[in-house]
Structure 1
Amino acid sequence: MLFENTEKPKTSPFFEHAFPTATIQPTPTTVHLSNQQQFLPRHYYKRQHHQQSISTNNRTYSTQNNHLTSQHNRKDYPGNKTQQLNPCLICNKNNHTTTKCFYKKNNGCFKCGQSIHQIPKESSTSTTFTPIFVKILCNNTAQKALIDTGSAITIIHQHLLNDIQHEKLIPKTINHLSANCSTLNIIGEIPLEINVNGIKTTIIANVTTNLVTNLILDSDWIQSNNVYILTPEQRIMIRRRGKEVSIPFVKPPLLNYPASLINYITLPPFSEKIVEAKVQPNNITDVLFEPNPRLKNKALFTANALLNIENRTIKISIINAMNRQQTLSEGTKLERIPKGKACKVLIPEGKGAKASNTSNFNHMPTTTSHDQQHQCRECYQHFNTGNELFKHLRNKCYPEEIRQQINKLTEH
């Protein structure tokens, strides 16, 4: 009998075996190998991935180290430094320091090998300060004025006041102490008009008879008129009501005349000589000489003296306090002369002093004999020595202000 097959054909799988299953007869060794092949890829890939990650990390770390090392080397390379080395003090080259120089001496100085160097010290007396002078109009008269930030009052000399138009002088008697402890004799006050390049200012000035310059503008004038002192630009500037003006510094007038040695001299040890010096002024009496401070560093001493100038020549005594001889060349500056005459009245008058004393003193002869050398100028009493005269002046004839100053200076 024939039966018809009604079943649907089975779909073949996606992956067909290359060989029928009946033909494959695995042996135990084959099963073992096949099992081993089934589990090898997992362990193998895991280990391989681990090794690759380690190698990748090592490669990244080494790359970073190489990058940092190259950057470090590039930073340490001398050519990339922004700040170059200072030149060597021995050979003046810039590629090494002084301590690493090939020509450095082993002992003493690196350059010359000496153990002791005598370096001259700069004395503070050699430093000079230039005062600030500007050209202004004082009561419509051209004049050089000193800008003094340390002065508390504006001062005008009586000689300048007599040469310009001014209002009536307000009498006033007062003594001011200057920076060098000298007394300024104030005789009154007067208003002044100071014109700075078109800007007019007013100030009350004190009139004096013994000022080293003609006009001094004080700190009150500077602050009240908004005056800016521009030292680097060598000018002063004033601002007022939206207007700004400036004037340059000018060369200061000659305040001191130098006294230069006429001929060279040789001073023996511990000796004193009278020398001649030439000056610019001619035939002036009662001038004050101030010693050159540089001579004191050489143990050469000259005294402050009140002298007369004849034919542009003065005579001054100089002392050598060293135990060896010293030579001064021609033209050596011995001293200086402040501009103008020195004050004859060495003893200031008291508040109740009479004008007759001044007139009597002015008519006294300038030449003094031996008897008049130790004579009091107040009571005209004679003394045998200068010490007795000074004791008398300190106890009786000096004003109270001078006594207080002497006591303050001599107290220990």
Structure 2
Amino acid sequence: MKKLLVLSMVSLFFLVGCERESSINVTENNTMQGANLTLAKERLNALIKEGKLVPKFGSALGKTTQGSSNARVGVQSSIWSKTPDYSYYQSLVQRAINPGDYECGPTEIDGYIPPLIVGWTSSDFFYYNYFGDFAFLEAYFLDNTDGGDSFGTTGQFTNVTNRVFKDLKRFWNIPTDIQIADAHGTIYNNVPLVVAMVKEFFTYGGGPVPDDIALDLALTLQEVFGSPQFHYFNNPLLTFNAFASTADPAYGLPKKIVMGDGIQQAYADLGYSDVATQAILAHEYGHHVQFAQNVDFGNSPEGTRRTELMADALSAYFLTHKRGAALNWKRVQEFLGVFYSIGDCAFDNDGHHGTPNQRMKAAEFGYQLANQAQKQGQILTSEAFIALFDAELPVLIAPDAD
């Protein structure tokens, strides 16, 4: 299914490249303000509510609001949102915005998010839920050149991200042809690119989006997400995500890890800047270890729980191994206690990541293996690690582990 979506992206590369020759005069139209922009927003809202302007493959956020933050209608889930951890992190934002969605909690992250939505109007919620995934669309589909990325709104996470990524590629015995990409909310300030993305990712009455509608939307998103309520494009909720994806060589998509500014900023704000980036990145790289070893990602709660707990264990093994990140286990444990408190109790959900206790047990298993291996000065192969983990899995998910 992913190839169907990627195929549609081929034309986008040409569209972006030809933007200067477009009939859209961005410089002239970018001056549209006041009453004109208000009229444009009203027209867009009407088109969306009438079902004329719709995502081709569904909103990555999975939901949209109409009228208020609590009145929601379902939107088809994107194919690409099914990559590990994408929809999971978005569910954390949704449940914090809508407290009735709690399965486990409240948590520190659940407490962190509400101040970020202070002052949002029903229109702000609507645009966030319907169009708030563009940073990840760009990072996943278009950012396919290696190097040159900046992590964090001011580049504050760039050094640690690049260093740990390099260490991970050295640590695990899998192919290293993996790219890391950054996701920034400032994507919405690039009107020509947003116009191109709208024309590629959305349809208008089942056909192409007209130039004037695409430009109206791009300018509206620039205004909405460039407002104080969205921290002038830098509200962490616009990039509150991290995920790993497999390659699609037929269409030029490499193996990839996408790191959003928001997920790193959130844990830095909570006081974990010394370990958060390392832990999040190590977990996502753990998924690439699984990809390389053909681990089954079966679409079931039990299958997802297995792969997520395994990624937790792989992460803890790297983080605490003397030849890995060599972090202090007590400090890692403190962070994971917060990070894993977002473990869920949705046992019948295909995105089930395991309960908080199960996730911590998996991490402790990885830590113990690191202790045993480093005493002998060795790093377990990924094959050996996976075999040991699968043997231990029944213990990790046993009732007394919860």
Which one has the bigger helix percentage? Answer: 2
State the structure with more CA Rg: 1
Q: Same fold (TM over 0.5)?
A: no
- Which TM bucket (shorter chain)? under 0.3
Normalised by the length of structure 2, the TM-score is 0.24
Give the TM-score taking structure 1 as reference length. 0.23
Structure number having the greater strand percentage: 1
